[in-house]
Amino acid sequence: MRYFMSWVESDEGGKGGRGWVDKYIHRYVNIGGPTLGVPKVVTALLSGDTSDSIWLPDFGAFLTDRSVLSKSGRSLWFRSMSSGSAMLPHGGEEIWGKPPHETFLCISGPGAEKFGKRSSEGCVPYTTTESIELMFKRSGEETRSMWEADRTTWGEALVEPLPLSKNLKIYCLYGVGVDTERAYNYRYDAKNDKLETDSIIFTDGDGTVPLISLGYMCAKGWKTKKLNPSGVKVTTREYQHKPATLSLRGGPGTSDHVNILLNAEVIGDILEIAAGIDVQERI
């Protein structure tokens, strides 16, 4: 939606002109939106693994490497989805941190020196920016050219200001209290020149998107004059994940990334917003 709001007013996009958003969009409800990206996108392209798939056996020994049942096949499949570039982590080390306090990837195993100097923990640390670059290098120039084809800043939350509008209101609704992928330990298989996920480090979030990507722009970034020049009102509401014990989808108190749409309180808040009633901020 943020991409659309920039595109529609641009002379290079929708050609709606400045003021289009102010005239036609009154309320924007962002439900679980990854405004600063999702770490698992990097590892999905790098090794074909996320916490959702790491438990799956690798059928590469029995099937072609291009089969989605093999890790290399999954990574090729993920690389073909160029829209995923919008979900790469944004903000670099200022947002995601840097070693020794915050490491996005750490590579161990015989021959890991190929990727750099080992830290005191015995692995080669990579920042978020370095991890994305490593992903592109190992994915090939075809992936890089496809994923970097869009040279605009439309939708880039830390670069593109909110549209000028006196009428627009933004609501950020998202779940918290679910373990969410944040960083990764990799093991290098020198014989096959492959990176394998060894372990995953989790943080708070909605199970897919870390809290910093869900809430930073809503609670802080869009409260600044630089990124919100006309003072668009931004309201943030967090929903603690309270899944029902005997429900496959989590029940009316669930707040994970997908099933939050079943959350009774979220549904009630959306109806109030649609009816023109302001909901209160809750962080």
Q: What is the pLDDT of residues 5-40, one digit of tens each?
A: 999 999 999 999 999 999 999 999 999 999 999 999
Task: State yes or no: pLDDT of 54 exceeds 60.
Answer: no
Q: How far is CA 153 from CA 86, 236, 269, in A?
A: 10, 24, 31
Task: State yes or no: pLDDT of 50 exceeds 80.
Answer: no
Task: State yes or no: pLDDT of 74 exceeds 80.
Answer: no
Question: For residue 70, what pLDDT is reported?
Answer: 67
Q: How far is CA 209 from CA 29, 110, 123, 190, 214, in A?
A: 17, 32, 26, 32, 6
Q: What proportion of the chain, given as a percentage, has pLDDT over 90?
A: 69
Question: For residue 144, what pLDDT is reported?
Answer: 86
Average model confidence (pLDDT) across the chain: 89
Write the single-letter amino acid at 283: I
* Average pLDDT of the segment spanning 191-211: 93
Residue 78 near residue 44, CB atoms below 8 Å? yes
CA 151 to chain centre: 19
Nearest CA to 278 out of 171, 175, 199 is that of 171
**What gap in Å lies between CA 215 and CA 36, rounded to an integer?**
9
Question: What pTM did the predictor assign?
Answer: 0.88
Q: Does residue 251 sit in helix, strand or coil?
A: helix
- Residue 255 region by backbone torsions, left for phi larger than 0, else alpha for psi between -120 and 50, else beta: alpha
Which has the higher per-residue pLDDT, 153 or 233?
A: 233
φ and ψ of 126, to 5 deg: -130, 135
Q: Does residue 94 sit in helix, strand or coil?
A: helix
